[in-house]
Every structure is written in structure tokens, then in C-alpha cells.
Structure 1
């Protein structure tokens, strides 16, 4: 499974490690992803999503159904 948030679409970013002597080597900045189960009260079922920490905060603020509806409109949700 890819390192992509199913709600926000966040992916790994590429950058440089910069040493004290200012040498640059490539590195990846990985998103803070977690597998989390969410209960959808309208359908009465549980879904498991791979979401970032910021997506969990968004779900807590707006509700799972509103966030899923918006993510489906953007084409991010795989469920």
C-alpha cells in the first residue's frame, strides 16, 4: 500500500539533508500516516482508512460523513 493519505492525498515529499559542511544528499519527508477505523452512523458500519494526523483532526472537526463526501468529490477516497 502506498504512503498516501486517503482523505487529503498527502504524499512523501523529496528534499535534501544538509550537513554542517553544507553538503546535500536526497531524502524523503514522509507524511504522518496511521491506519484508523471510523464509524459511519448513517450506514451503521465501520471503515478502515489510512489517514494523516491532519486528516484525523479534520474528521474530528467536521465529521466523518462530510469529510468522506468532500474527499470522494476530489477523487481521494479508495473505499
Structure 2
């Protein structure tokens, strides 16, 4: 299973780990994914998703439907 947020599409990033001696070695930053059940009022049911905590905060602030619309607009869907 890919480490990608189902709502925002946010995935892992890669870059360099830098030591005090300025040595460079490749590393990866993983997205903070959690399995959550989210209440969707329009459908009257829970939806189980694997989303990032950043997306969960957005859902908490503006609601599920608005967050889905915002991420679809951002993705160009």
C-alpha cells in the first residue's frame, strides 16, 4: 500500500541528510498517515480513510465536503 494521503494526495518527500561534517546521504520524509473514520453528514455514514494529519486538521476546520472540494480544485480534478 502506497504511503499517500487519500484526500490531498500528499506523499513522501526525498532529500539529503546533512551531518555536522556536511556529509550528504539520501533520506526520505514520510507523510504522517493515520486510519480514521470520518462522519459524512450528506451521506449519513462514516467513511474510513487513510489520511494525513494535516488533512484531518483541515476537515476539522472547514468540514469534509469543503475539504474534498478544496483538494479537488487544487489537484485540478
Q: Any stretches of 5+ residues in structure 1 without a counterpart?
A: none
Q: Give yes or no for the alignment of 1:53 onto 2:53.
A: yes
Aligned runs of 1:13-24 on 2, under 5 Å? 13-24=13-24
TM-score (norm: length of structure 2): 0.84
Report the number of matched residues.
Answer: 76
Q: Distance in 1 between matches of 2:4 and 2:14?
A: 14
Superposition CA RMSD, Å: 1.8
Q: How far apart are 1:46 and its partner, in Å?
A: 1.0
Structure 1's 75 and 47: CA in aligned 2 closer, same or farther, altered over 3 A? farther
Extract structure 1 runs of 4+ deviating beyond 6 A. none
SS for the counterpart of 1:7 is: coil
